[in-house]
Amino acid sequence: MISLFSFVDVLGKKETGNLYPYLVFLLVVILFIVLFPNLKTVLWRPNKGNVSGAIDEFPGPLKLPFLGNSYVWPLFHPSKEILGWTRAAVKKWGPVFRMWNFSRPYIFISSSDLAIKLLREGLVDDKFEYLKNVSVAINGVGLVALDSEVHPKHRKLWNPFFNLKRIENSIGYMHSEGLKLLETLESLAGENSTSCRSQVFDLLPYVAHCTFDIACRICFGVDLNEAVSRDCLHQYCSDLHTISVNITERVFRPWLRSDWIYYKTTEGRKTKQCAERGANLIKKVIEFKRETRKCTDHKHQIANTCFLDRMLDLHEQGVLTDTQLLGELNVFVSAGSDTSGIVICIVIFYLSLHPEHQEKIVQELQEVLGSDFGNSSCPFTWDILKQFKYLELCIKECLRLFPLVPILPRRSTENIKLEDGRVIPRGVDVFINVDVIHRDPKYFPDPNIFRPERHSEGPIPAFMPFSIGNRNCVGQVYGMVTVKTIVAQLLMAYNWETTQREEDLQILYQTLQVPESVKCKIRKRLV
């Protein structure tokens, strides 16, 4: 500002007043240049009719012309602030409120009963449009981003891959990756009697590598080290992170809506670079796999085929296009690795905060495994995992307190009439706030208390860590099996402590909620 006025002083030789109209004109030109490519999205309205009137029936902050409510939106550090912002907004505006992001209306829902109805009845089966567009741009078209009309057909292509036989066959592989993780952690452990030799470390990167390797193996079915270098794989893993961070930040910044502007920014270029690198890696793996298929009689091994084999068959039959093939593979690896990895770390974190529950699980493991307890080379089976019942209750309680997808970003597929007569019009972005729903005292008495037993009397309707309805998590059994296997291994080998409190976890929202770090200390467990 200072330099602007000195510029005016020099040019205007103290007659600064004469230059103001020119400066205003200049500002208008600059604003036009910046906003023009965004106009379509900024001025977009969901559909014809009195949408605005219907939306304004819901409470929300004061709506300004053109800006809407974007002035209350956490623009600068959205990933760090959005979850806190939403909780505060629910307190202020109630369980169903609206936000105008420029001319775009958003409806936030944290009423448990309404959320259950919308999800069960498939009334919000489309995805948040903007997020969908961006995912399409970087991933190719994968299951997560598909429109509600084509989604069911693709979902049918995915479902057979997650049958129990196949998941059962994967447990051995998960277990052997778990063993590698234990080996890596060995040097960080103190002796059993004392924790003074053990060091504090962040568990996240260790587990992330483990679950990434599991997801790649189950997705591609080959030892990827033969197809691409280890460095490329780690690069791919970190690229997936960069992409999800950048996509999320972009969602909150309306001036970045246009691709034309976005891909000229540093972040946009980086996102594109990561997406291209990822696509090239997947193409290399596909080529490698095609060669391997030529050498083996793969038709005779259908029962053990990996996800890539299944998708290649569909591609060869003309069911999937090139971009769909690429999209589905990207979705599998990104949705299948980070998810289980973060949940494993969060379970270990809560069990470190609540050692009495940690001990109860260890007792259960001892009872189920008998003399095999502590014998790390003995892999689990489906029947064994089924008997880890208390462990399962604890995992569920962790998912309640820390739902991995805290906000389900959806879009209404029809006009939705609520009991009080208000209407959510078709085509409006709807955010289901699982984070708040999971602490609804109606369904979860003493919601802030860690109490795994609350899940022992059958399913709780408002418990939705894997979402509900047609677009729920297709990989939930596979995810739970991975989490159970690795957590059981980690608890059998070590006693876990943490130096953080629940409120110390710095959470980043990137569609998933991700803790910045999970600080742990371990001691070897005596068998």
Please report, as ranges, the residues that interact with ligand HEM according to CB under 6 A: 143-144, 155, 331-332, 335-336, 339-340, 343, 404-405, 408, 465-467, 471-475, 478-479, 483
Cα distances (Å, whole numbers) of residue 108 to 87, 317, 360, 415: 11, 42, 39, 16
From the CB of 102, what's the least distance to ligand HEM, in Å?
24
Angle between helices 203-220 and 164-185 (to 10 degrees): 140
**Nearer residue to ligand HEM within complex by CB, 16 or 148:** 148
How is residue 461 annotated by DSSP?
T
d(CA 314, CA 47): 36
From the CB of 404, what's the least distance to ligand HEM, in Å?
4
d(CA 462, CA 437): 7
**Nearer residue to ligand HEM within complex by CB, 336 or 425:** 336
510: which strand partners?
512
**Nearer residue to ligand HEM within complex by CB, 240 or 369:** 240
**Nearer residue to ligand HEM within complex by CB, 479 or 515:** 479
C-beta atoms surrounding 234 within 10 Å: 12
Q: Which amino acid is at 81?
A: E
**Nearer residue to ligand HEM within complex by CB, 134 or 369:** 134
From the CB of 377, what's the least distance to ligand HEM, in Å?
25
**Nearer residue to ligand HEM within complex by CB, 189 or 434:** 434
Tokens for 236, please give them. 């791919």
Which residue has the closest beta carbon to ligand HEM? 475
From the CB of 478, what's the least distance to ligand HEM, in Å?
5
Beta carbons within 8 Å of 345's beta carbon, 6+ residues apart? 203, 204, 207, 515, 518
From the CB of 477, what's the least distance to ligand HEM, in Å?
9
Q: Which residue has the tokens 């003309």?
A: 318
Do 9 and 16 meet the contact criterion of CB atoms below 8 Å apart? yes
From the CB of 142, what's the least distance to ligand HEM, in Å?
7
**Nearer residue to ligand HEM within complex by CB, 139 or 271:** 139
**Nearer residue to ligand HEM within complex by CB, 102 or 130:** 130
Q: 327-350 burial string, b = 16+ CB within 10 Å, else e?
A: bbbbbbbbbbbbbbbbbbbbbbbb
From the CB of 166, what's the least distance to ligand HEM, in Å?
12
From the CB of 472, what's the least distance to ligand HEM, in Å?
6
From the CB of 355, what's the least distance to ligand HEM, in Å?
23
Q: Which residue has the tokens 């891959």?
A: 161
Beta carbons within 8 Å of 379's beta carbon, 6+ residues apart? 171, 172, 175, 176
String of DSSP letters for 83-131: HHHHHHHHHHH-SEEEEEETTEEEEEE--HHHHHHHHHTTTT-EE-HHH
d(CA 470, CA 126): 10
**Nearer residue to ligand HEM within complex by CB, 396 or 521:** 396
